């Protein structure tokens, strides 16, 4: 019985690559893209602004994005997407527009994906992988003190990026990409530096609340969890290969 199971596993291990093998269309290439990101859980910037009497704020939850990737297909059904995204400025304005918080971020990711229908002209892929988010935050604020107004605050954390892409081939070397996905990453250790009397002081951006006379403090969060859409152009410098 054990021998039969072992033989079956070996047969599957040998047969699967052969089943997935064949011609690799668009084996290695570069992708240039743009899109929009929707941050579903970006609460702290908006809540902080709304604490000021008479203030109105705009949700810091939507911003344009731009990116580029290296694409490598290790066989006809499997592709590596190694890339970079810049999430452009998103703002929360308050105090009649006199004050604002401004956020942007850079993201580096590695996403392996499985390709369905790996045809020459049209294919669909799904994948997920780790992403490193590096965020920055500036605050023009009426609030005095070390945690009121600041510039150049930054933090980083690792999260997850999931991608769904449809590719349509224009030629052997060029293809259009339309897609989107989901990311989940929270940057909650945001620090900045201030100078006073020739001395450098490092601070962490904190959130302080006072409920029934009891004060509590926690780290300020930039939550990039949310959805995005993107469109791109792919150029394949090795348009066809073998597996």
Residues in the chain: 243
Is 40 in contact with 227 (CB distance < 8 Å)?
Answer: yes
Query: In 3D, which of 128, 130, 132, 124 has the Cα closest to residue 163?
Result: 128
**pLDDT at 153 (0 to 100):** 94
Question: What's the pTM value of the predicted model, to 2 decimals?
Answer: 0.83
Enumerate domains of the chain plus CATH numbers.
Answer: 24-242 (2.40.160.20)
Is 95 in contact with 129 (CB distance < 8 Å)?
Answer: no
Convert the pLDDT of each residue in 147-166 to its tens digit.
578 889 999 999 999 999 99
**pLDDT at 184 (0 to 100):** 97
Would you say residue 191 has pLDDT above 50? Answer: yes
Name the band, by pLDDT with cuts 50, 70 and 90, for residue 19. very low
Two tokens at 48?
Answer: 């902080």
Weakest mean pLDDT among 58-72, 78-92, 196-210: 196-210
Q: How far apart are the first and last CA of the chain?
A: 34
Mean pLDDT across the chain: 85
Query: In 3D, which of 89, 96, 102 has the Cα closest to residue 45?
Result: 102
């Amino acid at each position: 019985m054990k021998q039969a199971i072992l033989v079956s596993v070996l047969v599957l291990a040998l047969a699967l690559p052969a089943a997935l093998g064949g011609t690799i269309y668009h084996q290695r290439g570069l992708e240039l893209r743009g899109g929009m990101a929707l941050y579903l859980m970006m609460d702290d910037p908006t809540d902080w602004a709304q604490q000021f009497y008479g203030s109105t704020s705009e949700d810091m939850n939507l911003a344009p994005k731009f990116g580029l990737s290296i694409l490598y297909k290790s066989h006809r059904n499997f592709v590596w997407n190694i890339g970079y995204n810049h999430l452009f400025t998103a703002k929360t304005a308050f105090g009649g527009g006199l004050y604002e918080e401004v956020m942007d971020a850079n993201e580096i990711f590695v996403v392996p994906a499985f390709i369905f229908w790996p045809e020459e002209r049209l294919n669909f892929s799904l994948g997920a992988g780790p992403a490193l988010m590096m965020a920055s935050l500036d605050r023009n604020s009426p609030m005095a003190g070390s945690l009121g107004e600041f510039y150049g605050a930054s933090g980083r954390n690792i999260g997850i990026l999931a991608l769904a892409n449809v590719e349509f081939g224009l030629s052997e070397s060029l293809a259009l990409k339309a897609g989107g996905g989901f990311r989940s990453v929270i940057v909650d250790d945001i620090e900045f530096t201030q100078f006073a009397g020739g001395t450098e002081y490092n601070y962490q951006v904190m959130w302080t609340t006072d409920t029934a006379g009891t004060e509590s403090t926690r780290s300020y969060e930039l939550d990039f969890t949310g959805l995005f859409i993107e469109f791109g152009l792919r150029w394949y410098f090795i348009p066809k290969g073998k597996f």
